[in-house]
């Protein structure tokens, strides 16, 4: 970074800090409402209404807590408990089976039944953690082997089925009963074992539904947040307290939140809130500027113009808001910003500008709606880059849009006829006034700003411009080449939605550096005389590659806009004249020398930094190549165009341009369509036919 650039950036930083401080003071001054010397228990001497729409924090918090307390505890199915229940049932039958085998003789008669049952109960307690009724165990000891095996399968199956559901303590017994009832109905021959099996399952199976503390807390939090997300609103104009009413803690809080309570001395809290509000908006703007990589350092005049224009609606709002909440001149800034910064930047900066003045209008919702619509429409009209610029359109369309928005809001809010008249009149007055002032001051802005605007482009496009006149006289070939490049660039820009008017006008001036040595460029040479024949290769290269730098000098001398100067600098990027480099390589090869360094042949400019600059580079390359090749058939021409474009891509000339591959394909098609018209042969008429009107 050079010293001048560093100084410029420091200057901008200092100015922006001052702007932030001034905006905080302006918003603070305009935001302060009338206030009252009341406290809790005081009796109001007048009706007090909300000066703006606010959230009733007290009531909202109360309803949120109520919603939180109404959330029921959440129980969820535990896979772990479910599996444990199945395992315990299986363990029961495994233990019983082992006991049966230990005490069973060959005739299937138990040697000591009492001993078997006692041993079994002890083992079951160890494995399942439960004690069972000895009568129930006796049934399992005495049943036949086949019955035991069948009951085991059914018990495990029923347990698995029950555990698939979320079974809590309240329904566990009924679920077991339902399963046993089904067992009786489908297995009547084993129904005598049903009650015993039911008793066993009721002892073993535990509820698999467990209290989910996290889910319950989440549900409570969601209920709380849901209520907080739908706050109780106190609308602007709503009565807070009536004459003779006592100021309660609730009404006092509302008055305090509305800044209607008079506090002793300077209210640092209101200033802090205003400062926080303003700083957040400026931080968002800084973030946007950083992402978009705006560069104001080249043209400080535009920077100061925008800063001053940014302040005008803000300061005016302090007075205008006292007349009407719809009387705002935001579109004054929007119009100027759109002309200098484009549509998207105008929308963002204008929204920020409006948000800064919105507190002064007590956060009026209708004003917000109307201004949002007006800002979008005005930015799109004033910031459009077309062939013509109609000041009337900048006034008419935003005015119609803002009036339509006003009527739509009044209709939606069921306003009275008198409100329709008042809001429409105020909106129309503020919109038309803002736009007329902006258009009227535009010529004055042009005197100080170097940044290109549509009106400036129209001025530069006139054939009578001194540089273009000189180009036409001193370098007619370059002039014709520039006109062709302008038409190519114009059609390509239209194809991809770039700034067609800028591309066309910038193309007129992209080769003005050739005015320093016009005869050294082939398009200006006549009668077969080529001055390069008398020069060495490096001398020729120095002359050829110097024309962008020479063009910048001429452009600055004639005070051309910086974007056009940038195009002059970037239209050859960092490429090199292929003819002279190839010639130098041939001479080196013939002399047995090392191949020359290609960097010594490169242009000293920069690669295109915008779509428009890249379009002009491609148009310049294509026009020169097609003209020199002499190709007149469309297929050969298209192949040449694609080869040239690919060469620029391979040379990394388009990497910073912002062009996508889809854009490049559209550009190629637009070039092709242009030459399709240029190659079209007209009908040849007989010599005796009058063709004056053809």
Average pLDDT over residues 307-326: 89
pLDDT at 191: 85
Q: Which structure tokens are listed for 205?
A: 């199976």
**Of 204, 152, 128, 148, nearest in space to 173 by CA:** 204
What is the sign, positive or negative, of the torsion defined by CA atoms of 492, 498, 501, 507? negative
Distance, first Cα to last Cα, the chain: 59
Q: How far apart are CA 342 and CA 285, in angstroms?
A: 16
Is it the case that residue 690 has pLDDT exceeding 70?
Answer: no
Place of tokens 């000891």: 141
Phi and psi dihedrals of 68, rounded to 5? -65, -40
**Of 363, 439, 360, 361, nearest in space to 399 by CA:** 439
Question: Where is pLDDT greater, at 521 or 289?
Answer: 521
Average pLDDT over residues 447-451: 64
Q: How far apart are CA 398 and CA 364, in angstroms?
A: 20
The per-residue DSSP string of 386-449 comes to -S---HHHHHHHHHHHHHHHHHHHHHHTT--HHHHHHHHHHHHHHHHHHHHHHHHHHHHHHHH-
**For residue 406, how many other CB atoms are within 10 A of its CB?**
26
Highest mean pLDDT range out of 46-55, 215-224, 231-240, 251-260?
A: 215-224
The per-residue pLDDT of the chain, averaged, comes to: 85
Residues 6 or more apart whose Cβ sits within 8 Å of residue 189? none
The predicted-structure confidence for 537-556, as pLDDT tens digits, reads as follows: 898 999 999 999 999 999 99
User: 123 in helix, strand or coil?
Assistant: helix
Q: How far is CA 364 from each of CA 230, 237, 351, 360, 628, rounded to the nearest angstrom?
A: 19, 11, 15, 9, 65
pLDDT at 679: 65
Q: Over the Cα atoms of the chain, what is R_g? A: 43
139, 148 contact by CB (below 8 A): no
Is it the case that residue 37 has pLDDT exceeding 60?
Answer: yes
**Of 421, 425, 423, 429, nearest in space to 406 by CA:** 423
State how beta strands 239-241 and 209-211 pair. unpaired
Question: Where is pLDDT greater, at 518 or 386?
Answer: 518
Q: Which structure tokens are listed for 19?
A: 């702007």
Residue 450 banded pLDDT, cuts 50, 70, 90: low
The predicted-structure confidence for 239-295, as pLDDT tens digits, reads as follows: 888 888 888 888 888 888 887 777 655 667 778 889 999 999 999 988 888 776 554
pLDDT at 692: 40
Place of tokens 């803690």: 249
Average pLDDT over residues 209-225: 87
The predicted-structure confidence for 574-616, as pLDDT tens digits, reads as follows: 998 888 888 989 888 888 888 888 898 999 999 998 899 999 9
Is it the case that residue 172 has pLDDT exceeding 60?
Answer: yes
Helix (H) or strand (E) holding 306: helix 300-323
Kindly provide the b/e burial profile for residues 609-637, where b requires at least 16 CB atoms within 10 angstroms of the residue's own CB.
Answer: bbbbbbbbbbbbbbbbbbeeeebeeeeeb
**For residue 523, how many other CB atoms are within 10 A of its CB?**
19
Residues 6 or more apart whose Cβ sits within 8 Å of residue 486? 503, 504, 505, 507, 508, 619
Helix (H) or strand (E) holding 210: strand 209-211
630: left (phi over 0), alpha (psi -120 to 50) or beta: left
DSSP state of 574: T
- pTM equals 0.51
Is it the case that residue 528 has pLDDT exceeding 70?
Answer: yes
pLDDT at 131: 86
Is it the case that residue 513 has pLDDT exceeding 70?
Answer: yes
Q: Which structure tokens are listed for 482?
A: 């520039």
Residue 109 banded pLDDT, cuts 50, 70, 90: very low
Q: How far apart are CA 645 and CA 654, in angstroms?
A: 10
User: 261 in helix, strand or coil?
Assistant: strand
204, 85 contact by CB (below 8 A): yes
Helices (H), 103-144: 113-128, 134-142
Is it the case that residue 123 has pLDDT exceeding 90?
Answer: no
Average pLDDT over residues 143-159: 90
CA geometry: angle 55, 58, 59, nearest 5 deg? 80
CATH code for the part of the protein at 457-678: 1.10.3210
Domain locations along the chain: 3-32+267-427, 75-211, 457-678
Average pLDDT over residues 499-523: 91
Residues 6 or more apart whose Cβ sits within 8 Å of residue 78? 208, 209, 210
Residue 621 banded pLDDT, cuts 50, 70, 90: very high
Average pLDDT over residues 494-522: 91
pLDDT at 620: 93
131, 125 contact by CB (below 8 A): yes
**For residue 646, how many other CB atoms are within 10 A of its CB?**
12
Q: How far apart are CA 322 and CA 360, in angstroms?
A: 9
Average pLDDT over residues 387-401: 78
Q: How far is CA 578 from each of CA 235, 477, 602, 621, rounded to the nearest angstrom?
A: 72, 21, 10, 12
pLDDT at 45: 84
**Of 613, 608, 619, nearest in space to 506 by CA:** 613
Q: How far apart are CA 281 and CA 296, in angstroms?
A: 20
Residue 33 banded pLDDT, cuts 50, 70, 90: low
Question: Where is pLDDT greater, at 304 or 662?
Answer: 662
658, 611 contact by CB (below 8 A): yes
Is it the case that residue 448 has pLDDT exceeding 80?
Answer: no
pLDDT at 263: 64
254, 44 contact by CB (below 8 A): no
């Amino acid at each position: 970074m050079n010293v001048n650039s560093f100084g410029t950036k420091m200057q901008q930083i200092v100015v922006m800090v001052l702007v932030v401080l001034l905006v905080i003071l302006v918003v603070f001054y305009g935001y302060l409402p009338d206030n009252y010397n009341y406290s809790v228990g005081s009796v109001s001497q007048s009706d007090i209404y909300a000066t703006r729409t606010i959230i009733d924090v007290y009531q909202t918090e109360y309803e949120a807590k109520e919603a939180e307390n109404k959330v029921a505890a959440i129980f969820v199915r535990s896979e772990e408990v479910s599996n444990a229940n199945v395992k315990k049932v299986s363990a029961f039958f495994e233990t019983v089976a082992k006991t049966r085998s230990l005490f069973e003789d060959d005739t299937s008669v138990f040697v000591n039944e009492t001993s078997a049952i006692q041993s079994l109960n002890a083992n079951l307690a160890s494995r399942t953690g439960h004690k069972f009724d000895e009568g129930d165990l006796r049934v399992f000891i005495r049943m036949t082997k086949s019955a035991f095996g069948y009951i085991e399968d059914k018990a495990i199956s029923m347990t698995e089925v029950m555990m698939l559901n979320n079974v809590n303590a309240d329904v566990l017994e009924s679920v077991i009963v339902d399963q046993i009832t089904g067992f009786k109905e489908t297995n009547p021959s084993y129904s005598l074992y049903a009650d015993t099996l039911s008793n066993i399952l009721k002892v073993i199976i535990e509820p698999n539904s467990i209290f989910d503390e996290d889910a319950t807390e989440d549900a409570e939090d969601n209920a709380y947040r849901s209520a907080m997300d739908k706050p109780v609103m106190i609308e602007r104009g709503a009565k807070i307290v009536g004459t003779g009413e006592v100021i309660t803690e609730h009404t006092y809080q509302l008055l305090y939140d509305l800044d209607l309570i008079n506090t002793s001395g300077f209210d640092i809290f209101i200033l802090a809130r205003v400062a926080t509000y303003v700083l957040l908006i400026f931080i968002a703007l800084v973030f946007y500027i950083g992402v978009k990589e705006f560069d104001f350092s080249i043209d400080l005049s535009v920077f100061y113009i925008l800063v001053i224009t940014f302040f005008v609606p803000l300061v005016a709002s302090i007075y205008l808001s006292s007349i009407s909440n719809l009387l705002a001149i935001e579109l004054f800034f929007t119009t100027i910003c759109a002309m200098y910064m484009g549509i998207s930047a105008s929308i963002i900066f204008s929204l920020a500008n409006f948000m800064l003045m919105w507190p002064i209008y007590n956060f009026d919702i209708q004003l917000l709606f109307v201004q949002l619509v007006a800002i979008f429409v005005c930015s799109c009209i004033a910031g459009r880059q077309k062939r013509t610029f109609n000041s009337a359109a900048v006034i008419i369309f935003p005015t119609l849009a803002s009036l339509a928005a006003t009527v739509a809001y009044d209709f939606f809010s069921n306003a009275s006829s008198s409100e329709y008249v008042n809001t429409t009149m105020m909106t129309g007055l503020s919109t038309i006034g803002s736009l007329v002032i902006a258009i009227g001051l535009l010529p004055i802005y042009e005197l100080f700003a170097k940044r290109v605007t549509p009106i400036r482009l129209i001025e530069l496009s006139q054939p009578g411009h001194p540089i273009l006149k000189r180009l036409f006289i001193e370098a007619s070939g370059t002039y014709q080449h520039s006109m062709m490049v302008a038409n190519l660039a114009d059609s390509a820009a239209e194809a991809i939605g770039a700034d067609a008017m800028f591309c066309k006008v910038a193309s007129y001036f992209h080769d003005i550096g050739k005015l320093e040595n016009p005869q050294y460029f082939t398009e200006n040479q006549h009668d077969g005389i080529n001055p390069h024949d008398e020069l060495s290769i490096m001398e020729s290269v120095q002359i050829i590659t110097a024309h962008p730098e020479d063009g910048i000098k001429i452009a600055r001398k004639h005070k051309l806009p910086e974007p056009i100067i940038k195009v002059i600098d970037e239209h050859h990027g960092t490429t090199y004249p292929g003819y002279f480099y190839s010639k130098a390589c041939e001479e080196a090869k013939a002399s047995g020398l090392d191949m020359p360094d290609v960097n010594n042949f490169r242009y000293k400019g920069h690669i295109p930094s915008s779509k428009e600059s890249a379009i002009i580079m491609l148009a310049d390359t294509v026009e020169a190549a097609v003209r020199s090749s002499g190709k007149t058939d469309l297929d050969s021409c298209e192949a040449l165009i694609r080869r040239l474009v690919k060469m620029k891509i391979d040379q990394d000339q388009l990497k910073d341009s912002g062009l996508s591959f889809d854009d490049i394909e559209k550009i190629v098609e637009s070039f092709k369509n242009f030459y399709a018209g240029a190659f079209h042969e007209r009908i040849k008429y007989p010599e005796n036919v009058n063709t004056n009107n053809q």
